[in-house]
Structure 1
Amino acid sequence: MTFGALAVASRRRVLDTLRTAGVPQDVLALARATGLHPNTVRFHLKVLIEAGYVIESRQASGGRGRPQAVYACAAPTTHEGGYALLAELLASMLDDAAGVEPARAAGARWQRAAGPAGVAPNAPGTLGEAAARATALFAELGFDPVRTPERDAARIELHACPFLDVARRHPGVVCGVHLGLLRGLVEGGPAGDGPSGGRAAADGRSGGPVGASGAARTFAAELVPFARPGVCIAEIRKVVPEREGA
């Protein structure tokens, strides 16, 4: 399945409505339940079908004419379930054995692997560019990011997490991977060991930033898991160089 298909809040609302209904729904029923225009519902259904989250079938209406199209959630595949189990096992092993530092390194490696082979990503030149990169990546991965610009920082609220079930049980590992990914993206290099490099709260509640990069970088990245119910926060901030002799 393509997690990026869930990057839009109204699209997730359509999918959640289908899950709650438990029986196939037509476009008009989904429009009434979600408050969306029928054309918007059709567009979201098309994306969800292509991503493998929804299936379309035909149902006799009881009158004349063609059977109407109805929609239902696709059953999870064995393939998808296997990946979920593997993610849980790997996160559990990292959590028990080593914790957050290898997870951050894995996230940075993930970010490097996503770019051209053998080419290190260039660090963004401005805070706006750094925030735009991070917002685009989180949207592609299905985190439903909402960016709030500030004077010396960019705050990105993440309203969805494709790895939520595993993250709730192993926040230090899963959120650590996401922090490493973020750092690699906005800093143009591997995740560093910053002065705030603590683990996320073990119980998944808001426990302060997972970490921040060193002061030698132009930008520092932090991630606050479960800052409030259903929302994590990524922050990118300009680093002010320390004066010599200060």
Structure 2
Amino acid sequence: MDDPETAAPDADLAAVAVLDEPTRRRLYEHVVRQEAPVGRDEAAAALGLARQTAAFHLDRLADATLLDVVYERRSGRTGPGAGRPAKLYRRSAREFAVSLPDRHYELAGRLLAQAVEESAATGEPVRTVLHRKAAEWGARWGGRNTTTVFELLEQHGFAPRREGGAVVLGNCPFHALARDHTETVCGMNLHLLRGALEGLGGHGFEARLAPRPGLCCVRLEPAA
């Protein structure tokens, strides 16, 4: 299963920041408007740039994974004497998401869709499936990290801070959904974080619902 959380938010932010340079952004917009991959000479001519300038910025966009690089022989010839394939650029298949404060609505949508589909197929209540799916997803978060609870929560946008022996979460990555569908989304979030703690192991905390204004609905208390 593909994980929309695999790419770190900082990596998405860094990639999008590459487009802040005006010439680079013009080149990116030119490439994504084309049906076929674009070569350096073509891009340079279209935008009135020196070939070396176009090549530099196109490669920078590829390094940031905003563009994919492909190699093709445009002459149609093959075999010996056909020449080297041209280096071409096309829009990357990767998707980028940047939001401040950190939000993960795609993850919520994916979990809810999985719950609805499995419930329809099995007859199990949607909310029961949702809680299980959220816990499984959280366990993958924790299972691929050899980090502290604090670092795991920071990585996924919860803005943790200590409050006595507990940890409160200053940001809810599902804020708008939790505001309008509190019971469903907060229950999902609770099981997501319980799964993350289980996957992390040896953390000394347990996740509980403890809604307070301005905070995430989940709070981590010292384990009994």
TM-score (norm 2): 0.42
Larger Rg: 2
TM-score by length of 1: 0.39
